[in-house]
Structure 1
Amino acid sequence: MLSTFYDAEALQEKLRALATEKEQLLREERHLLAKQQAADAGIAELKAKHQQLVLAKELHELAAAEAGRRARDRIMELELLNASAAADRPRLRAAAAAARARAAAAAAALAAARTALDAVPRRFRQSVAAARAEAAKLSAEAAALREAAAEAAARRGAAAAAARARAAGLRGALDALREELEEAERRGWESALRSDLEQQRSEGRERDDRDAWRQRLRRERARTAACRRHCDSARARLIARHGPLAVERAAFARAVAASTAAAAAQRQPLMAPVHGGGAAAVTAAAAAAALQLLAASERDVISEVAVVAAAGGARTLDWDAFVHAAEASMKVL
């Protein structure tokens, strides 16, 4: 029994010693594995460095070869340039000699010309200088004439623009006068109708005669439209015969006649109502006064004023007579 116990204890001791040895061996194995891993990493790093060194050596060899090639190319280029310069040197020397010869010939020709000019009489040289001065003076006068022509063209353009603006203003005045004439005729007809109505009422003949008045108003409107068409056709004929300025002159004449009549109205009565409606009549005294006022400064519109004054007594203006009188004034102008 004791021997068996001692054997078991010895075995236990051996087992513990073996376990301790095992742990020590495991630690040594781990340590060796770590060393092996470090050695492998160092070997890999050395291999990478070796590859880099190989690549660097190859690049250095390539750079040296490229530098040698470039150096050889540069040497060949310099040799070619030197050879071409040596070949061109005689030609350049010949060209320089020819240039010097030409310069010497030009200097000789200039000296000969100076000698010939000194040999020319002084009077001839003075005449040449006078001719040059006259040419310069004529060129200056030509430039002044060109500037004057440009200024005249500018003035003509400004005058044409002013004339166009004045024509536009006169055209507007003509339209305004036509509208005023139509308004005056309409007011005259309305006043005549009112006066007739009041007269009928005063005589005791008041009755519902609206249809008759409407018919009369329609007739008057138709007559007004016909007069307007007649006016437009006469204006077109006047423009076709004498251009657009004829209409502006006629409008100016009508404006002058109206202003003259208004000025004379402050001294004596010029307007008298006409029974049956229509525009007011301009008296012969007003026409004579207008002609006397315009005779000194506005001779080109006397005929138009006379036509307006003569036609003012009618119920509507006689546009045919107006056109003929305007044509006569155009012939006078």
Structure 2
Amino acid sequence: MTPALEIRGLVKTYQSVFGKPRAAIDRLDMLVEPGQIHGFLGPNGSGKSTTLKTLLGLLRADGGEMRILGEPVPRRQADVAPRVGAIVEAPAFFGNFTGYKTLSLLAKAGGVPKDRIGTVLNQVGLADRAEDQVRSYSLGMRQRLAVASALLKDPELLILDEPNNGLDPAGIREMRDLLRRQADRGMTVVISSHILAEIQQICDSVTIISRGRTVGAGPVSQVLAVADKGAYRVRVDDHHRAAEILTGAGAEVSVAGDHLIVHDLADASWVSHALGVNGLWVRELAPVAQLEDAFLSLTGGAPRGGAFRPVDDSDWSDEEQSV
């Protein structure tokens, strides 16, 4: 299948105050398969927003290749634009317009059927505030309106920069469910976010960048392996007794709510055996690795290069070798 998004060797430079060029994006690679929810992660100033703006034609690249839904951009940006919905950085709306009027004007400008407005307002949970002026909206409600505007075209590719900004925990869960439903329908979703726990819950794959370069990419499980330090989550009927047994056998154990964490474990089967001979049967034995750990491991030292699978040169025709 044709990837939903491909970036290879992308370069974007700016002139510094000292007159020397500074690479905001330095030969960055990114690949997103269709139908996935893909997380785009990096520290502040790593080049995430610059990458998205360049991809969407808001900035001009200085080198590299980009494709959206199989089409080379920016050369065919106008052709592919109707198939893409996006919000990058904080969107601005007219405060004296209602939510409905805001979307109505956007729908008219984009040639979108009017009945889509009610659909997207329902999807983002703003149907009951549609006739209120945007100036009365909270930050979270404005963010919902921005997502609604990106969904108006019912796009094949949805690109969202910090979609959970301003949302409360219930709103974050609703947004997660909304994006998963879109992906289940076949939409590809790219999320740039700093809420790593949320990315770990919702995303199928991630790209992590640092100082404008890809430092890690792939399925979430593969990226988490970077942070695997031999910690395992253990659930049994009596976790306090289990902790005593494992501690007595020399393991480093911590109790966390309704489960245990066994640290620096070389052989997970040892836990099952140690508890089983004492009449405790393991209900869950799973490795514990947090995306935050992998993120810090990959970006803390700003390593160069990463686990990205490069796009084969044969996938690109000669006429598409430059932006």
Where on the TM-score scale, by shorter chain, does this alignment land: which range? under 0.3
- Higher relative contact order, chain-length normalized (CA < 8 Å, sep 6+): 2
Superposition TM-score, scaled by structure 1 size: 0.17
Q: Which has more radius of gyration? A: 1
Name whichever structure is richer in helix by fraction.
Answer: 1
Name whichever structure is richer in strand by fraction.
Answer: 2
